[in-house]
């Protein structure tokens, strides 16, 4: 198969939980590009070292390697420019980059403070040790302490989603009338959280909840039908 994605996996190889890898998987499905998403773990640095990458996603296509999720989305759009478009033109591409920057702060970084303590139990022991050590150094506290007050903290997180709601109250997708890169980028964080944690980030009366559900259903349930913890 000519397209291969190194995709972050847990101890169960079917548990894929990188928000950035999910952006790419949804984009590949959007374009209908046959590919293989192979499991990669934190301890498997050598498997991607040749690409110059230290983490996934890493895409391999016809002898080329691309890393960093937004670059991969651009590579996909430029290499398979036919419809359906991922970005809907240059304006949409620039805006998707903006939404990626926003998602890094909100649907990844802020969401991490609500679910990160649920991640280690899904990892192989050596990966769990690495994960806990590096994240606790980053946060300056234990993962358990970070999420201890999450029932209250989630309210602030939900307020941060205001820009998503502003769009979704008026349109079906962040990309407009059809789903596109902007949707997959913002969705990645929700899917990551759902795959590792039963903690409900969203409540069912939220337009963001409905939008997430439609993305879970997309592409024959690509994102829905994987090992996950959130049952909402």
| Under rule CB under 8 A, residue 82 binds a copy of itself | no
* Burial group, residue 3, by CB count within 10 angstroms (0-12, 13-18, 19+): middle
Q: Which two tokens stand for residue 226?
A: 């994987």
| Under rule CB under 8 A, residue 177 binds a copy of itself | yes
| Under rule CB under 8 A, residue 10 binds a copy of itself | no
Nearer to a copy of itself, 21 or 179 (CB): 179
| Under rule CB under 8 A, residue 97 binds a copy of itself | yes
Nearer to a copy of itself, 7 or 77 (CB): 77
The torsion defined by the Cα of 87, 222, 122 and 22, in degrees rounded to 10, comes to -10
Angle between helices 69-79 and 90-103 (to 10 degrees): 160
From the list 37, 56, 73, 96, which residue makes contact with a copy of itself (rule: CB under 8 A)?
96
| Under rule CB under 8 A, residue 94 binds a copy of itself | yes
| Under rule CB under 8 A, residue 144 binds a copy of itself | no
Residues 191-220 that bind a copy of itself (CB under 8 A): none
CA 206 vs CA 144, 146, 168, 198: distances in Å: 28, 25, 10, 18
The torsion defined by the Cα of 208, 189, 9 and 27, in degrees rounded to 10, comes to 80
Q: Which two tokens stand for residue 2?
A: 């000519």
- What distance in Å separates the CA atoms of residue 188 and residue 210, rounded to the nearest whole number? 15
Count residues contacting a copy of itself (CB under 8 A)?
A: 35
Task: Check: CB of residue 215 under 8 Å from CB of residue 174.
Answer: no
Give the number of other CB atoms < 10 A from CB of residue 50: 10
Nearer to a copy of itself, 163 or 213 (CB): 163
Stretch that binds a copy of itself, among 20-28, 82-90, 206-214, 223-231 (CB under 8 A): 82-90
| Under rule CB under 8 A, residue 26 binds a copy of itself | no
- What distance in Å separates the CA atoms of residue 173 and residue 187, rounded to the nearest whole number? 11
- Least distance to a copy of itself, CB of residue 213, Å: 19
| Under rule CB under 8 A, residue 179 binds a copy of itself | no
Nearer to a copy of itself, 38 or 95 (CB): 95
Nearer to a copy of itself, 100 or 201 (CB): 100
| Under rule CB under 8 A, residue 19 binds a copy of itself | no
Would you tell me which residues interact with a copy of itself (CB under 8 A)?
85, 87-102, 104-105, 160, 162-167, 170-171, 173-177, 180, 182
């Amino acid at each position: 198969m000519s397209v291969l994605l190194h995709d972050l996996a847990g101890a169960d190889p079917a548990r894929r939980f990188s928000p950035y890898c999910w952006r790419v998987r949804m984009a590949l499905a959007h374009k209908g590009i046959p590919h293989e998403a192979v499991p990669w773990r934190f301890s498997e640095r050598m498997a991607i070292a040749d690409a110059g990458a230290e983490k996934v996603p890493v895409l391999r296509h016809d002898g080329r390697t691309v890393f960093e999720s937004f670059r991969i989305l651009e590579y996909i759009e430029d290499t398979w420019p036919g419809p359906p478009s991922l970005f809907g033109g240059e304006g949409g591409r620039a805006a998707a980059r903006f939404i990626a920057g926003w998602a890094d702060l909100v649907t990844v970084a802020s969401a991490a403070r609500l679910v990160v303590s649920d991640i280690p139990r899904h990892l192989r022991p050596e990966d769990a040790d690495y994960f806990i050590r590096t994240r606790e150094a980053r946060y300056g506290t234990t993962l358990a302490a970070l999420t201890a007050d999450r029932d209250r903290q989630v309210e602030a997180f939900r307020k941060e989603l205001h820009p998503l709601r502003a769009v979704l109250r008026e349109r079906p997708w962040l990309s407009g009338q059809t789903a596109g890169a902007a949707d997959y980028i913002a969705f990645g964080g929700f899917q990551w959280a759902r795959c590792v944690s039963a903690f409900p980030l969203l409540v069912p009366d939220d337009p963001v909840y409905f939008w997430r559900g439609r993305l879970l259903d997309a592409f024959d349930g690509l994102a829905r039908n994987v090992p996950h913890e959130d049952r909402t």
